[in-house]
Amino acid sequence: MMSSKFDEFDLYSENLLLAQHDVSEIISHELMKGEVREDFLITVLESCSEPPPTLVRGTLSDGKKDAGQLDIILCRPHAQLRRMGTQCYVEKSDSLCVIEVKGNCTGRDLKRAEAKAQVIQKLKGQEKPLYGVVCYKSELTEATIMKRFGFLFDANTKTYFDPATTPKSQKSTWPKITYPNLDFFVSFEEDKKIFVRRYQPAPGTFRFARVMNNPLIKDLFAMVKSLWKTAHH
């Protein structure tokens, strides 16, 4: 049961997104299928704010090098968008967030995303846009995903936890994070719904926190809306 009428809208949006993913499976051309899904996700995310956030497909550049093809880029208000057909060449300083979209995320996909995050960080400029992955399904188990983002499983409470949040825990005992340069990971798969976000518990230390709201898309909306609104001020 939804706790508010707003949650009903969010659940509708999430279910619509998942339904479109399933319907698009009839498209045999993989590139076209991916672009159709990206466009639909953009449409759904645009509903989080009015006026809608500027979301495009393309790449980031510092003027000399670029990050290669990126699925969705959340741009700053009044960003200069250099359009080439359906793609945009965006200055790194004009970007707030980059979202990689995966239909069925694999360990190889996450490894590539980690490498792409490092490429974006190496582009010249002080600004660092958030970078993460949103997937509809994942070949990895929930336990594997959580372990790679620094969590352990408590068999007694049947919940995942980060030892870094345990009082008096030693840093040397904290699980290693496999993808330290990702800022978030989202899986919409039923029985495997996951949203983890990178945060800084202490100067120079980064861990991931799991968001447990239902529906899950509520937090994706909140993240995009917060970045968009903050950039307006």
Q: Let me know if 103 is exposed, middle or buried by CB neighbors in 10 A (0-12, 13-18, 19+).
A: middle
Q: Is 73:56 a contact under the CB 8 Å cutoff?
A: yes
Confidence of residue 166 (pLDDT cuts 50, 70, 90): confident
Cα-based distances in Å from 142 to 99, 134, 232: 21, 15, 37
The average pLDDT across 27-40 equals 92
Give the domain ranges of the chain.
5-232
The count of C-alpha atoms lying within 13 angstroms of the C-alpha of 116, restricted to the half-sphere facing its C-beta, is 24
Confidence of residue 32 (pLDDT cuts 50, 70, 90): very high
Question: What's the pLDDT score for residue 2?
Answer: 58
Residue 87, token pair as written in the block: 């793609």
Is pLDDT at 25 greater than 80 in this prediction? yes
Q: What's the chain's average pLDDT?
A: 93
Q: Let me know if 163 is exposed, middle or buried by CB neighbors in 10 A (0-12, 13-18, 19+).
A: middle
Is pLDDT at 233 greater than 80 in this prediction? no
Q: What is the pLDDT of residues 143-161, one digit of tens each?
A: 999 999 999 999 999 999 9
Confidence of residue 1 (pLDDT cuts 50, 70, 90): low
Question: What's the pLDDT score for residue 231?
Answer: 84
